[in-house]
Structures are given as structure tokens and as C-alpha cells.
Structure 1
Amino acid sequence: MTNFKTNHLRQLPLTFLFLFLAVATNVFSQARKVINFDNGWQFTKGDVPGAEQATFNDTQWRKLDVPHDWSIEGPYDRANPSSRGGGYLPTGIGWYRKTFTVDKADAKKICTIEFDGVMANSDVWINGKHLGKRPYGYTSFTYDLTPYLNFDKANVIAVRADNSIQPASRYYTGAGIYRHVRLVSVNPTHFKHWGTFITTPVATISKGVVNLKVEIDNKGIAGDYKLQIDILDNKGTVVKTVESLKNIAANATGLISQDIEIKNPKLWGFEEPNLYTATTKLYSGKTLIDNQSIPFGIKKAEFIAESGFWLNGKNYKLKGVCLHHDGGAVGAAVPLGVWKERFKKLKEVGVNAIRTSHNPVAPEFLDLCDQMGFAVMDETFDTWNSAKHNGEKGYNLYFTDWWEQDTRDVILRDRNHPSIVIYSIGNEIHDNLSYPEGYKKYKMQEDVVKKYDDTRPVTMALFRPANSKVYLSGFAEQMDVVGQNYRENELVAAHEAHPTWKVLGTENTHVLVQWLALRDKPYMAGQFLWTGYDYLGEADWPETTNNQGLFDRAGNWKQQSLQRDSWWSTEPVVHIVRKSENAGAGNWVADWTPNDFDTYDNAKVQVYSNCDEVELFLNDKSFGTVKKPADDSPREWNVTFEEGTIKAIGKNNGKIAAQEVFATAGKPSKIILTQSNPTLANNWDDVSFITATIVDNKGVRCANADNLIKFSITNSGKIIGVDNGNIISHEDYLSPERHAFSGKAIAIVKASQDSGKIEIKASAEGLEAGSIIVEIVSDKK
């Protein structure tokens, strides 16, 4: 049972959170209450008549916390209605219920519930009263509970989520309340939900101008209300305070627009993603009646036709990836720590931009992009009215009735994130895009975007424009930025025929020629690779996962990430790969251990490197030095295989800059464990990836080992998912065991206590077991 008197804040950067708490402690009971509503739900699968009623008996239901994705619990089945799009995982109806109380002291306040996302076709009730329905599982929404609440008595929230109408998507969606939930209590006069818009019309190293447009809903009495705005830097220091007075009539909305000058601001950028916080306080007389804190960045981002993308006066290439919303083994309910680990690896490869393909992401995903310095293409829809194969019963069923509200809510929620540099309102749309009829559908969405945020350009990911004739009909020339998926030569030709067009590769493959289109054409603003990580769904059985990512589900490097590292990294890199089968057959792999020593003779070897020259050695015998090709192609050798050690040394200006060494593995001997995160706090978002690697007696990874690895963990922690990256594996993600793939498997671990140590062990028959310790900390700076 949740007591409404417990105060929790939505996750903020810790420096801001501590300051906010210090400022608000003495007056918080008078102002806004934001309460984490994730814990203590009852859940059941299947449709249950009467479950919306407050008197319904749910004591036999499963107790759990949200975010929760029940689809990832499986099992995989080729006959599941989700089919290839949803990755053959189960679908259907799920019910959630939660009982809570509200203090009578809050009876004069307005109480709302905020859902960051429910998949899908959600219906919500409070005490048996229907609050509303939202078909689109990716949008955040809120409902007013006030008219139906009991004070000092039990209240029941009931949520029905239905994704049984299949096939609903071309990729995995998840199922249930898979994002965070909050209860919010405000005074009758309060800041409007998503009603504060922060822009930076001037952003230079000497001067920043921050504009806040603040909407105030007055459901109380008419009168004068004072707005105080404090601007805090990234250390929590107040750098500017301004005040405004506004007379607001009863049952009216007041708008205050305030320009605030910041001298010598710390700009938000890729290398230094500096953040400020606007803390707004609303007073009636001397009484604080509402308060909120919103992080933002001071920046100037623009697309220029002849020279591409500019940020704070510097020309950059957007080196981007597309990301779906699933987190592999955790499904659609993704702890922020999973994204942190993924973002770190993307940064290591040189990625600086992310496309949210093809739907709105969780708000904390964008918070992380702000904090880590990624530019974002914020995308709304994969379909408009026309259906797509393997997703025939998707958003196309709801677009006509819901596109405007969903678009509005996405823009209002996301527009204060400095990471967002462009909006996309569609991906490979199959509707008729002929001009002017087709353009009207594009323009009506663009107009809604610009109504709520006119500071960023709008695009869409055009699909085969040479076929749809959008480059010839007049459609494309009306777009702020022309975005195209693949066929880079068409986009290059389109710009060169229309030099005033701003152009961007919205979806691209990993091949060299496509990288050169970005590298060598100044007007190409950027590319978004398909994809950054392998994702669930869009695969033909027995495959369950689309494997076009730079990294696999488990975070393992792949051939394309190693090569991309040589093209995009600013640090010297050397990566060795070989063809897995004899004489250039098979896949590219990064090891020196063939799966069949008897038949492996001719090893085709490539080295990906940005160094001036690379020399290859096998058992200390040199196979020659190759200089860096002008077209960034890999350096290649044909080598007669020998057991031992292969080494590549990269040099710049004659000095060693980077090197890589692989040794031939012997028989599997033991398991070694490594951790991505040596400390964990006991919260939903903090995780550590524990990697189990099977090695020989010299510590060399046994790349062909596929032993069944069994993980165990002490009671101070819990395993929330296991994986190995194998796209044809149908093993249970929630089981504590997994077969190794390429000699490795992972367990994703959380803390379940507030202090102590977590010991994780991994064992396999015939191998020496491995163990590792993760420390539990009370908080993490």
C-alpha cells in the first residue's frame, strides 16, 4: 500500500537533486509532491472481467514492481502471434492493480498519475472510474485522479494493457507497464504539465540568453502570483535569479516569458555536455505553492545546406546510430544502467548521435543523451495510415484518430532536452507521398511540431525516393532537412541537383562506400547506421534477433564495430579479424582459434586501423607493412595458418601507436568473470554486467566453447537477465544459466539490499568456476 505522504523526486542528476532538496525541505509540504509509484503492483496475464472495480479481489495475483515487461519472460515459440516482427515472444492482455491511500490534508490539491509508457492499448481506472485509453504504447500520458479519490481510505488504480492484436509491429514492443509511473500532487494554482519551454536564442562562449516560457494553470483564486527562476550551473551553484509578477484570473492559464542573460556560459556539446538547471518557484504572497527543476543546455545547433551540421559554431559530422527501445535480455523494461553501458561502447566507437527508431523513447533515455553528449533525432512514428509487412495491425489502425495528440505529447515532453537537434515524423512511410496531396499529411504533422517547438528542424526518413518521385514532385524541397534511408548515391545526386537542400542520411548500412559518402561530401550532415545494437524481432525463425548492430545483444564487439572504430575513433586503433572458414569463407571473427584445425589452412586476415602504417606478424615473422589506404579500406593479408600468436602493430610517424595480439586457444580450462560496474546502489536503474569468459590454462578465450554456464548470486543481489548474443538461441532470459556463445555469456545483476557485498559465481561442467564481488554502496556520485 502506497502512502501519498512519502516524498520522492523523479530522478535528477545528483548535484541538482541535493540542492533541490535543501531548498525545498521546509516548504515542500506546501508545494509539489512527486512520488515514485513503481513499487507494489499486482499483476496477472489474461483478460479478467471486473478487474477494474475497486472491490475486485487480486490477492492471488503476482506481486511485482514496475517497470515490467512480461513478454520477455517468454517462452519463444514460432507459433506466437507476434511472429517475425515481435521476435516470436508472447503477446496478449495483462492487468495491473495497485492499492494506495491519500492523506486528507491533500484533499484540496490536484492529484494526477503519470505513465511514461504502457504497451499497448492501455485503459486506466481509478476506483472503478474509467480515466481514458491510449493505443500508442510509446507515448507518455497523465490522468487527473482528483474527482474520484478517497482520502484516508483505500484507492485502487487498475491498468489493462492489450497487445493481443497482432502482428502489431515490425520489431519487438514488449508488453505491460514497461516504463516508470509517478503520482503528482499540486496546488490548484500550479505549473502546467509540460508547460515550461526553455530555449537558448543566444549561445556563444561569451554570452548566453536563456528564454523560459512558463505556463501557469490557475484553478484557484484570481490574483497576483510571483515567479522566481534560479539558474544553476552543473555544480549546483545559482548563477542567476530573476523574478516576475503575473496577475492570473481564476480558471485561466497565465504565460510568463522571461529572457535571462548568462555571461561566459558553459556550452552543451559533444565533448563537454554541460548542463544547467532552471528551478522555478511559484509564490502566492510569501507562500511557495509550486516548484519544479528542469535540466537544460545552452547550445546553438543548425543544419547548413553547403556544409552540413554545426554545433556552437563548429562543423561536425553526425556519426549516428539507430536504436530500438529494447535492451536485449531485459526486454522493453530497460534499467538506465543498461543504456549507460551501451552508450559507453557507442562513444568508444566514435558515435555522437542517436536516432530513436522508430518511436518515442523513455524520458530518462533522453536525460542520459543530455548527460553523455549525444545529438538525438527524436522520431514519432513508423507508420501513418498505410500498413507495413509483419506489422499490418500496428499504429496504422490508430493514426487518423491519435496522431495529433501523440505528436503533441512527444514534443511537449521532449523539447527541453539539449540533445535533441532534429525531429523525424516518419520512417519509410508507405502512404502516397505525391505532391501536393501526400505533402499535406506531412505538413499537418510538421505544423503540430512547430506549434510547440519552432526551434528545431523537422525531417522524415524517406523510402526509395527515386521510386516515390518525392525529389521530382516538389515534396522534398518543402522539407526542413531531406532525410533518406540508404541509397546514398541518390541523396548525393539530389543535393547536387538542388544545392540549397539540407541533407542527412537517416538510415545507413556499415559498408565502406556509404562511409565515404559522408566523409567526402561536406554537405552531408551525417548518417545513422542501422543499427547501434542488435535488437529483438525483425528476424526469420530460428533467428529471433536482427543482427545488423555494431554490437550484439550482450554488448560484444562485432566485425562492423571494429571497422567503424577505425573510421570514427579519434584515438589510434588496430583490430585484427580473419575469415572463420578456410580460404576466405565464413564470417569475420576476432580470434586466432579455428573451429577445425585440420581443414583451416589459408587464413584471410584483415586489419582495421586508422594508423599511418600497419605491420602484421605471425609467431614473430613479419608479413610486411601496409600503409593507410586513401579510401579507408582495410589492410589485407593471406596467411598460411599456424598455431601461435598473430600480432598487428600500427605506427604513426614511425612510432608505435596501437597494437593487437591474438593467441591460439587450447582446451577450455576455467571461467573468468569481469564486471562493468564494481559498485551498485540499491535502485531500479543501477546494474552491472557480469561477463563469464571460458579460457584455456593460459587465459586465452576459447572462442569455440559453448558450455552451459550456470550463474549463482548471494541474497544481497539478483540476476535480472542472462544472454550470450546468439541470435538463434531460444533460451530463457530469466533463467540463471546460459550456453556460452563464442566462449562468453553475461548475467545482468542488481543489488537487492542497501549495503554489503554481492558475490556472483559462474560454473560449468569440467571447468574451474569463476567468482567476483560487487560492492553495494548507499549512493553513487
Structure 2
Amino acid sequence: MKTTFTQKTILSFFLLCSFHLLAQNKLGRELILIDKDWRFSFGHLYDTKKDFGHAEGYFSYLTKTGFADGPAVSGFDDRAWRKLDLPHDWAVEQPFSENASFSHGFKAVGKNFPEKSIGWYRKKITIPNEDLGRVISLKFDGVFRNSKVFFNGFYLGTQESGYNGFEYDVTAYVNYGGENTIVVRVDASMEEGWFYEGAGIYRHVYLQKTNLIHVALNGTYVTSEIENNNAVITAEVKLENKGHYEGNVEISQTVLDASGKQVASNTESISAPEFYKTNVCSSKLNVKNPLLWDIDSPNLYQLITEIKSEGKVIDQYKTSFGIRTIKFDPENGFFLNGKHVKLKGTNNHQDHAGIGTALPDEIQYYRIKKLKEMGSNAYRCSHHPPTPELLKACDELGMLVIDETRLMGINDYHLNDLKRMMERDRNHPSIFCWSVGNEEWQIEGGITGERITNIMQDFSKSIDPTRPVTVGISSGFKSGISSVVEIMGYNYLGNGDIDAHRNQFKNQPGMGTEEGSTFATRGIYFTDDAKHYQSAYDKKPRPTFYSIEEGWKFYAERPYLAGMFIWTGFDYRGEPTPYGWPSVTSYFGMMDVCGFPKDNVFYLKSWWGKEPVLHVLPHWNWSGMEGKEIEVWTYSNCDEVELFLNKKSLGKKKMEQNGHLEWKVNYVPGTLEAVGYKDGKKVLSDVQKTTGKAENIKLSLDKQNVLKGNVSVVTVETTDKNGLHVPTANDEITFSIKGGKILGVGNGDPTSLESDQFIDDITLVAINNFKEQKETNASLPLQLLNYAENQWTEAFKDRDYKKQAPSYIYKGEFDLKSNSASNMVSFFYKKIGVETVVFINRNKVEPSKEDTQKYILNTSILKEGKNTIHIAATPLQKIKDWDVMNTDPGIIQVITPAEPWKRKLFNGYAQIIIQKDENVGEVVLSASAKGLRAAILKN
């Protein structure tokens, strides 16, 4: 329809009035976390019937605007679906299968499991009438993967990658003053990486409300230059106008220090952007005697950006930032704030034991603190953009970051993903380098790689010229990307001659973006290929790869190399090299998937950290090996270490810089003690004692490494009668909790096929073979009559809605795989009549009190196998001829209660992650096991 001048004028007047109303009465911006109370169910990869009839409509959401179908329709009945909170990873909930993906840790998700590769999420929200005239949008931090989002039945878009955040404007589709429905269909059938990636809405989701004129998505960019104890802050802000307002607005920029004190401010008047356009305003602010952001003192500032109209604030946007300088030097490595810093980094994927990729914010802090505790000062996001909360933790705790995009390329798919990552993340002071690729073997060594790298580097500089660009290279360091990348990223010194490359490109700084790739199983000291266990001694893993010690010595001894990033800080699910099934996690980590340290942690802590360190390995429980030779190592930064067995000295040895010490010791039970000396004086000792059998369960709350919040990390172990930790214990521990819930359990065993989570199983059972017979009166039976079998006809087929019978009797069937007394079975009725009576196996059932269209079915009237349902109903009447009448009688929900939470200890340890309920003063965790004294932990 052609819009007239008068219509345009009225529309402009309405929007202008709305703008002024907001300017007078509203602050403008609200960001509301909407993680609570979603509904979830599995769909199906290709069977549309099992996908709730999605994409079966005559008109689809791609054909006509607003024509969603199946679960994407606002009125879809999701009462039988599971209720959950986000973040959510459905992959971690699944069992293991040998037919599943090696790279994803053999979890039963993906192309071979079409019934567990599509997930539907639905949530209802209310948006008040007062929000009319604002911009309403949905913000997703990340969905794995290939998500389609609908709002009130309107298709908003598709986001293919599982790692980039995205935002949709839903303003035009809102039901103001009423209920609104968000629907997300997630397709996790295809992998992006070669590591565990999870499945579902595994990051946060927000509802955002702003003024028509507002700071655009990721619309601030803060940089600084330091000179003579003065920092000149350039605060760039991008404004967006989704209204017809014309005129000037004021941009107020205020810098606050960590205490909230104002240290700089500036105000400018600029013209508002035109309708659906943006413009950029740049301000200069001076901060005197700035507190610099550093890995030891991560000082942060906050920029408060306010947009004002007629003196009223219509939008406020907060940006956390830090003031610091970075520099790579081809001769001397990396400098932070003018001070030389050797990069002591780790690579990491984003999953954690028991919870997969759906990490609570507290666990992000836990993991970064564990790395800092090891002495690490740098983190490489391998190999995709991270969740925002990880970067927040790195900013606040002082951890340098390489931020990495998912895929190299020069088209919109690649460059737009890179741009979105950089614009989202570029205000984080922790980020010191952008990575635009990793081990792209197809292009690394040739002209195509050069071209792509040059374009991506220049494109990156157009977005953020303050940071350099790197690529991780692994197929030789001679040509292609290696010859043009700004900061050379060496992946494994065994893959090429690093010194030769440096001599050829002396003006190109470099660092080890991956090094090590060693194999170790926590608590194991003899490799057992039959059991898929690798010894934890730091030894060369493969001929062309190097031990952690060999790798660190190489980089530590070369000033021109900025440092190295170990593969990896933590073990991760998937890629269980050098084994396959039933190994389901990697062996590369310095810590296991729980964050329990392997012995290599103490090597790094000795030479990466600042505190005195002494660690002796292995444990000293070797029953049956009396008299046999055991390798004993010590990791330390002491000058000398002396080893004692049962108080008898086995010799004192001098510690080599960046090295370790070894003894051969014939096993005798008792006490193995290492004593460390500095300047000839004893400064440290470490002891391994032979313990008795496990008698007690011990629960310990990690208060040091977890951010204060509702989520806690608990270490589970056993002790002997003397209270000594038993390093060889593998007892199965059962848990229960009051005042909270358990999120996940783990133990670091790379071959464990135990469940990560114990949740009720919800099965939806369809009603099939649905038939009907006409009744001659409107009275509904209180007892089921006998009906002639030859009178049944297909329900609703060729129904003449103008000549309906007074009532109908319907019959259907549903199959139950089991009829356990512990199961909870319900019939969620979808209205097919005005008045209704329901019979199950000829037994009349009553609706529940809380929901008159829900029938709770007692297992005494059910049976394993085929069950019958009869529904007597007076018919619904069409109001308009084109009304679409419901013909679906509903769904049977079967809830099978979960087993109690449990986990075996692995080499003495397990971990449990708990979450306290809101408004609860105390959470109580109980642990028990056969033959052990139980434990209770209160928090």
C-alpha cells in the first residue's frame, strides 16, 4: 500500500510525541536478564512430525511474515515441556555413545542422533503499555548453533555460528500490555570445531529497552594515550536513531574510578542521526595520574555515556575500560605499560566438568583464578569468541587475552563475525592481541593464505588500530601466512625451524601460540595403554612434540619470543588423543576438567610464579611394589632440594633454572619428604605419606577461587583414620542437597562414562490412531459405554462444522515403554470440545486442580505397552468460516525420576558444583558411600 503524505505526517508526529514523552519520564535504557523459566523440548532433525509439525504449514515463516508454525506459534501448548533456566547445554546431559563424535567427546548428539540434535526453547514475557515508543530488542550472548528466533510468531533471523552474540529488534511485533512469546529453535547437528561445543542456549539472554535515540549495539570505543602521568582518553560513541526526531542532543561523557569518583567529564552537542541512521561522536577526556591496568594491579575505570534531550537523560550506557599501553618488539618481546612481560599463557576451550559449556559466571572466575594461581598471565581463546563473562573475569583479575575469531575468510560471513567480535570486545583492557585464524592447513603455506591474512589484518585495523593481529601457524614457518602476519604465532616448535624463520623476518615479532600438547592423567604415574591412562611425568609426548619443560626452556631462553601459550590449561571434553573410545576427554591439560592440578602445574608454578615452590611426586601408596624402583621427581624454584625416605637422606641436588630434579627410589612404605634450600637454609618441605584405607568422606568448599555468588565448587575426597588424603581412592559417592540444586559432577577421569548430570527424564508420548463417533445428545457419559468397532471413523476428517453432532466420543492409543510406580504420567489436554470427559483404559479421570486441562494419571490404571484414551466432548464451533480448529487432543508426558546424584572418586578426588536457591539462608550438601563415614557441608 502506498503511504500518503498525511499518513507520514501523522506517523512522524506520533513518534516525535513518543520521543518527548520518553525524554520527560524515562531513563531510557533497561537491560533485563531473562534466563529464568524457559520451556525446552527436543524436536527432530528431519522428521517434521517429531519436530512438532514445524515447517509443515501451507505458508511458512519464509513465505509470509508472521506465518510461524509448530512451536514457533505463540499459542503453541508447551505445558508438557521441561522447565529450566539458562544457560543450558543439553549435550552434557546426554549419555556417551561409541557412535558419537570423537571430537565432541562421544556425547550422543549430532548427525547420528537426529532425535537429540534439535532443541526448542520457549519463554513468555510481559511488556507493559508504558514501553510503547521505546526500542525493544532481544540480546543473545551465544547459542550453539544455527539458531532461528521467533517473537510472537514472527521470524527474526538465523545465526549460524554458535559463538557470536546477536541482537534482534522486536519493537514492531510487541504485544504491549500483554503476553509475548520468545521461541528459539537450535540445530546442533553440525560441528564448528573439533572439540566439545555443547548444544543449546548456553550463554545469557537479555531483554533490552531503549529510547528511540540510543547508543548503538556495542557503540562505544575507548582508547587512551599516556604522557607525563596524564592519560588522554578518546571516547567514541555511535548513536542510532530509530525515530523521526530531528535536532540536537547532548552527549555527556564521564569517567569514574574504581571507587565511583568522577575523574573526568565532557559534554558536546551534536545533531541527531537521521531516521534509522547512525553517527559517531568523539570526545577527549584527561585523567591525571591514572592507575594503570596491569596483570598484578588490574585497575579499571568506567565511562558513563549519557544522551540528553532538553536537559533530560534519554539513554545511559556504561563501559568498563582500563588505561594501559602494549607493545611487541621483534628483539625483546612484549611490553605492558613499558615493562617487559614474558607471556606465560595457556590455551583453553570453554567447557567444564559436569556442566559442559553452560558455565555460571562464578565458574569463569574460578577457572581464571586457578590459572593465575599456577603463575599464568595470559589466556588464548581457542578457537572462537568467548562469552563476555570470561573477558570480564580477565579484566578484573588481571589476565591478558588473545581474542580469536572462528574462521578465516574475506566475505561477509567471515568479516562480519570478526567485526562483531571486535566491536563487542575492544574495550576490554585484558585483550592485547586479535587472532584471525588458527592452523588453517589448506591455506597456511600459500598465496591464498597471504591474501586472506592481509585483508583480515587491514580490516581489523579499521576497527581497532590499537592492537596487533596474529595467526596460529602449525604447518611450517616458511611462507604464506607466516610471511605477512603482524605477530607470528608459532604452533609447536617441532613443526618448523623457529630460529630460521626469525632470522629471515627479523622485524616480525613472534610468540608461541601453542606449545606442549603433552599427555598426562592426573594421579597416574605408569602409562597403561589398555586402560587409556598416561603417566603424569612431563615427558616428550610424540617425536615432533616437546614436553612442557622443553617448550618453556626454548621460549624462556629467547628474548625475541614474547612467550608461549601451552596447549592446554584445562583438559576438555573431546579430542581424546592419543586414544579413542572409551576415552572422552583430552589429556593435554595442566589441570583436569575439574581444575584439579596435574603435577605439571607445579613445574609451571615454580618458574612462572613469584612464591617459593616445592612439590614432590608421585604419591607414596604403592602396595605390592615393595622393593621396586619408583621415579621420584621434584618441582621447585629453590636452589637445592634434598630427598628423604623415612628420614634417611637420598641426596641433595642443585636445581637447574627452569628444570626439575629426579631420583630413583626403591619403594618402601612410609614418608617421602623433599626439603628445599635457598642460600643454604631450609625454606620449604613437601611430604608424600603412605596412607591407610579410606574411612571418611571430606567435603571442602573452594572459597578462594570462586566469585561470591550463589554457585559454589566443592571438592570431594576421602581420608584415612589419621585424616590423610587417600590418593588412590575411587569410591562412588552419593550426594543429596537441601536449599539448592546440584549443577554437575566430575572427577577428571578421561575414561569415565558416568553421567555428568542426574535429571528427571521427560518423554512425550503421542496419541495415535485418533478416531471418533457421533453422539445423538449433548449429555456426556460418566461411565464409558461400549461402542461398535465398525462405527469408528478418522477424527475430524471431512467435518462439516455447520452441521456438527451434539457431542462426540473420541478414541486414541498411546504406548508406554514401562509403567513403573515411580513414574509420573500426565495427559496435557488440548481443547477439542467445550465440555470434556476423559477416560484412560476405560477409567474416568479428573482434571487437576491447578490446571483444568491437565490430567494426572495414576499408574494403577496404566499398563506397559498399548493404552487407550477416550474423550467425550461437545464440539467447538467456528466463529468465522476461515477459523482453523484444533484437532490435536494433546500429549502424554512421562516423567521418570532421576537416580540420586553420584560420582566415583578418581585418584582421590571428585568435584560437585552446587547452586543455592534464591532467598535461602543455607544450603546443605550431604555425601555418603558404602563403608565410609558420611559428610555434611553447610554453606
What is the aligned partner in structure 2 of residue 496 from structure 1?
503
Distance 1:680 1:403, change over 3 A: closer
What is the aligned partner in structure 2 of residue 295 from structure 1?
320
What is the aligned partner in structure 1 of residue 41 from structure 2?
44
What is the aligned partner in structure 2 of residue 593 from structure 1?
621
**What's the offset of the Cα at 1:431?**
2.5
2:402 equivalent to 1:430:
no
What is the aligned partner in structure 2 of residue 450 from structure 1?
461
User: Of the candidates 276, 281, 286, which is equivalent to residue 306 of structure 2?
Assistant: 281
2:73 aligns to what SS in structure 1?
coil
What is the aligned partner in structure 2 of residue 562 from structure 1?
602
What is the aligned partner in structure 2 of residue 703 from structure 1?
727
**What's the offset of the Cα at 1:250?**
2.7
2:651 equivalent to 1:624:
yes
Distance 1:513 1:451, change over 3 A: same
Distance 1:146 1:313, change over 3 A: same
What is the aligned partner in structure 1 of residue 241 from structure 2?
218
Question: 2:744·2:914 contact (CA, 8 Å) conserved in 1?
Answer: yes
User: Of the candidates 16, 26, 29, which is equivalent to residue 26 of structure 2?
Assistant: 29
Amino acid at match of 1:253: T
What is the aligned partner in structure 1 of residue 81 from structure 2?
61
Question: 1:86·1:170 contact (CA, 8 Å) conserved in 2?
Answer: no
CA offset digits 1:57-93 (Å, max 9, x no partner):
111111111111111001111122x333344342400
**What's the offset of the Cα at 1:133?**
0.5
**What's the offset of the Cα at 1:249?**
4.3
Q: Tell which structure's C-alpha radius of gyration is larger.
A: 2
**What's the offset of the Cα at 1:745?**
1.3
Could you tell me which runs of 5 or more consecutive residues in structure 2 were left unpaired when the two chains were aligned: 1-22, 44-50, 55-69, 111-116, 517-546, 759-900
Greater mean alpha carbon deviation, residues 533-542 or residues 559-568: 559-568
User: Of the candidates 96, 104, 108, which is equivalent to residue 76 of structure 1?
Assistant: 96
1:406 aligns to what SS in structure 2?
helix
Whole-angstrom CA distance in 1 between matches of 2:918 and 2:270:
48
What is the aligned partner in structure 2 of residue 90 from structure 1?
109
**What's the offset of the Cα at 1:446?**
2.1
User: Of the candidates 641, 648, 671, which is equivalent to residue 697 of structure 2?
Assistant: 671
Whole-angstrom CA distance in 1 between matches of 2:483 and 2:327:
18
What is the aligned partner in structure 2 of residue 14 from structure 1?
none
User: Of the candidates 411, 418, 430, which is equivalent to residue 407 of structure 1?
Assistant: 418
CA offset digits 1:180-215 (Å, max 9, x no partner):
001111111111111110111x13571111111111
Amino acid at match of 1:742: N
2:426 equivalent to 1:420:
no
User: Of the candidates 373, 384, 390, which is equivalent to residue 365 of structure 1?
Assistant: 390
**What's the offset of the Cα at 1:621?**
1.0
Whole-angstrom CA distance in 2 between matches of 1:496 and 1:659:
44
Whole-angstrom CA distance in 1 between matches of 2:249 and 2:557:
56
Whole-angstrom CA distance in 2 between matches of 1:373 and 1:345:
13
User: Of the candidates 566, 590, 599, which is equivalent to residue 550 of structure 1?
Assistant: 590
What is the aligned partner in structure 1 of residue 349 from structure 2?
324
What is the aligned partner in structure 2 of residue 313 from structure 1?
338
Distance 1:420 1:168, change over 3 A: closer
Amino acid at match of 1:460: V
Whole-angstrom CA distance in 1 between matches of 2:459 and 2:118:
32
Whole-angstrom CA distance in 2 between matches of 1:753 and 1:142:
29
Amino acid at match of 2:262: V
1:535 aligns to what SS in structure 2?
coil
What is the aligned partner in structure 2 of residue 534 from structure 1?
571
2:488 equivalent to 1:482:
yes
Q: Which residues in structure 2 correspond to 1:748-759 (within 5 Å)?
A: 748-759=913-924
User: Of the candidates 180, 186, 203, which is equivalent to residue 226 of structure 2?
Assistant: 203
Whole-angstrom CA distance in 2 between matches of 1:318 and 1:125:
45
Whole-angstrom CA distance in 2 between matches of 1:400 and 1:214:
27
CA offset digits 1:216-267 (Å, max 9, x no partner):
1123311111111111111111111211111224323221111111110000
**What's the offset of the Cα at 1:36?**
0.9
Amino acid at match of 1:70: W
Whole-angstrom CA distance in 1 between matches of 2:34 and 2:385:
22
1:446 aligns to what SS in structure 2?
helix
Whole-angstrom CA distance in 1 between matches of 2:489 and 2:318:
34
User: Of the candidates 211, 225, 247, which is equivalent to residue 187 of structure 1?
Assistant: 211
2:731 equivalent to 1:724:
no
Q: Please report the RMSD computed on the Cα atoms of aligned residues, expressed in angstroms.
A: 1.9
Distance 1:516 1:376, change over 3 A: same
Q: Which residues in structure 2 correspond to 1:136-147 (within 5 Å)?
A: 136-147=161-172
Q: Which residues in structure 2 correspond to 1:632-671 (within 5 Å)?
A: 632-671=658-697
**What's the offset of the Cα at 1:115?**
0.2
What is the aligned partner in structure 2 of residue 7 from structure 1?
none
Amino acid at match of 2:932: L
Distance 1:435 1:602, change over 3 A: closer
**What's the offset of the Cα at 1:679?**
12
What is the aligned partner in structure 1 of residue 537 from structure 2?
none
Percent identity for Structure 1 against Structure 2: 37
**What's the offset of the Cα at 1:517?**
1.5
Question: 2:556·2:563 contact (CA, 8 Å) conserved in 1?
Answer: no
**What's the offset of the Cα at 1:442?**
1.8
Amino acid at match of 1:654: G
**What's the offset of the Cα at 1:289?**
0.5
Q: Which residues in structure 2 correspond to 1:334-345 (within 5 Å)?
A: 334-345=359-370
Distance 1:517 1:650, change over 3 A: same
Question: 2:125·2:181 contact (CA, 8 Å) conserved in 1?
Answer: yes
**What's the offset of the Cα at 1:656?**
2.4
Greater mean alpha carbon deviation, residues 132-141 or residues 501-510: 501-510
Give the number of equivalent residue pairs.
710
Whole-angstrom CA distance in 1 between matches of 2:136 and 2:666:
73
2:367 aligns to what SS in structure 1?
helix
2:909 equivalent to 1:744:
yes
**What's the offset of the Cα at 1:678?**
8.7
1:262 aligns to what SS in structure 2?
strand
1:326 aligns to what SS in structure 2?
coil
What is the aligned partner in structure 2 of residue 6 from structure 1?
none
1:85 aligns to what SS in structure 2?
coil
Question: 2:306·2:316 contact (CA, 8 Å) conserved in 1?
Answer: yes
Distance 1:40 1:739, change over 3 A: same
Question: 2:366·2:705 contact (CA, 8 Å) conserved in 1?
Answer: no
Question: 2:626·2:668 contact (CA, 8 Å) conserved in 1?
Answer: no
Whole-angstrom CA distance in 1 between matches of 2:706 and 2:451:
51
Amino acid at match of 1:44: S
TM-score (norm 1): 0.88
Whole-angstrom CA distance in 2 between matches of 1:682 and 1:525:
34
2:927 aligns to what SS in structure 1?
strand
Distance 1:566 1:204, change over 3 A: farther
What is the aligned partner in structure 1 of residue 634 from structure 2?
607
Amino acid at match of 1:209: V
Amino acid at match of 1:522: P
